[in-house]
Amino acid sequence: MKKLVSIHLFKINNMEQKTKINAEDGKQDLMITREFDLPLELLFKAYAAPEIVEQWMGTKVLKLESKKHGSYQFETTDAHGNVVFKANGVIHEFSPNRKITRTFEMDNTPFGVQLEVYEFEQLTDDTSKLNMHVIYESAAQRDQVLALPFAQGLNMAHNRIQEILNTLNN
Amino acid sequence: MNLRRDIFQAMADPTRRAILLLLASQTMTAGAIASNFDTARPTVSKHLQILTECQLLEHKQNGREIYYQINAKKMKEVADFIEPFRKMWDDRFNKLETIMKNYKSQNNEH
């Protein structure tokens, strides 16, 4: 069993890491950075245009006013029309192709409000970079948000190991 | 008798996964953990025992109370704690990139 675990970790560590997360122990913020194969203008448009945000975020955009003092609302419903995700926030700064500062809050969760500072950077004519700085109300809240996909992933990790074991047993 | 329980068997249970999530950022007493579930207290105790046996949880005696906490070192053996969060964003950004590449080629055709 021990051997299987290390094989699993080996795969994770060798994946291409285009997206980087920097979350220092005990801090209440984190930094997400990513380089895109896209010109700066297109990267920024993906954050500013509601119909495009809808596509890559996989949520309905009820409202998105891309301007200073504008606000936004996202909502996702399941097949039965039940709301499974709802979030909202206000935009503090909106500087085209440069910077967006906004708040983000998920409804009906204990995670509080987070402050998000997006910096858009041109690398070449065809490539760009996003720095996303997220500040939480406390270090504990940051860690809870970080742990969410981890907890959901435990299930998947278990299934994957189970699949390997099944293959070996057959 | 198998003394060291299997980690993945321990994690397969939804209640035990919920307990790990609860303890992700804090230490808690058995009572405080149990108050988050509808299940009977002895059932929660059994889950805590299983998680402790496979070393995913550690406990410390503090006066009359026993405090439970995540064994971060053991957790890291199973999977990097931050990796699923990173993967979630990576998938999202990959989608953004694909959508905008299509958008670009569509606009160039016009």
B17: CATH: 1.10.10.10
The region of weakest confidence among A136-145, B2-11, B35-44 is: B2-11
Instruction: For A92-153, give the DSSP string.
Output: EEEETTTEEEEEEEETTSTT-EEEEEEEEEE-SSS-EEEEEEEE-SSHHHHHHHHHHHHHHH
- Least CB–CB distance from B17: residue in A37, A52, A151: A151
Q: Does A8 touch chain B (CB under 8 A)?
A: yes
The per-residue pLDDT for B16 is 87
Residues B56 and B99 in one domain: no
Residues B60 and B88 in one domain: no
Tell me how far apart the alpha carbons of residues A82 and A116 are, in angstroms, rounded to a whole number. 28
- B contact test, residue of A56, A130, A155, A165 with most B CBs within 10 A: A56
Would you place residue B56 in the very low, low, confident or very high pLDDT band (cuts 50, 70, 90)? confident
The pLDDT tens digits for A26-63 are 899 999 999 999 999 999 999 999 999 999 999 999 99
The pLDDT tens digits for A115-162 are 999 999 999 999 999 999 999 999 888 888 887 777 666 655 555 555
CB contact under 8 A, A150 and B79: yes
For B:25-54, CB contacts with A below 8 A are 25-26
Most confident residue range from A125-134, B44-53, B78-87: A125-134
> Nearest C-alpha of chain B: how many angstroms from A32?
8
Residues B11 and B47 in one domain: yes
Residues B88 and B63 in one domain: no
Reported as half-sphere exposure (CB side, CA atoms, 13 A), residue B89 has a value of 22
Asked if the structure places residue B95 within a domain, the reply is yes
As beta bridge partners, residue B58 has B69
Question: What average pLDDT does the segment B43-67 reach?
Answer: 90
Residues B15 and B39 in one domain: yes
Mention every residue, 6+ apart, whose C-beta is less than 8 A from residue A40.
A97, A120, A121, A122, A128
Residues B44 and B15 in one domain: yes
Q: Is the pLDDT of residue A3 over 90?
A: no
Asked if the structure places residue B49 within a domain, the reply is yes
The pLDDT tens digits for A103-114 are 999 998 888 999
> Domain residues for B28?
7-70
Would you place residue A14 in the very low, low, confident or very high pLDDT band (cuts 50, 70, 90)? very low
Question: What average pLDDT does the segment A82-94 reach?
Answer: 95
CB contact under 8 A, B100 and A155: no
Asked if the structure places residue B77 within a domain, the reply is no
Higher pLDDT, A64 or B74: A64
Nearest Cα residue to A49 out of B60, B88, B5, B99: B99
Asked if the structure places residue B2 within a domain, the reply is no
Mention every residue, 6+ apart, whose C-beta is less than 8 A from residue B27.
B60, B67, B68, B69
Residues B64 and B91 in one domain: no
For A:76-115, CB contacts with B below 8 A are none
Q: Does A158 touch chain B (CB under 8 A)?
A: yes
Asked if the structure places residue B16 within a domain, the reply is yes
Residues B30 and B66 in one domain: yes
Q: Does A67 touch chain B (CB under 8 A)?
A: no
Residues B45 and B94 in one domain: no
Would you place residue A8 in the very low, low, confident or very high pLDDT band (cuts 50, 70, 90)? very low
Domain tally for chain B? 2
Residues B86 and B66 in one domain: no
Residues B59 and B102 in one domain: no
Q: How much of chain B exceeds pLDDT 90, in percent?
A: 36
Residues B66 and B86 in one domain: no
Asked if the structure places residue B75 within a domain, the reply is no
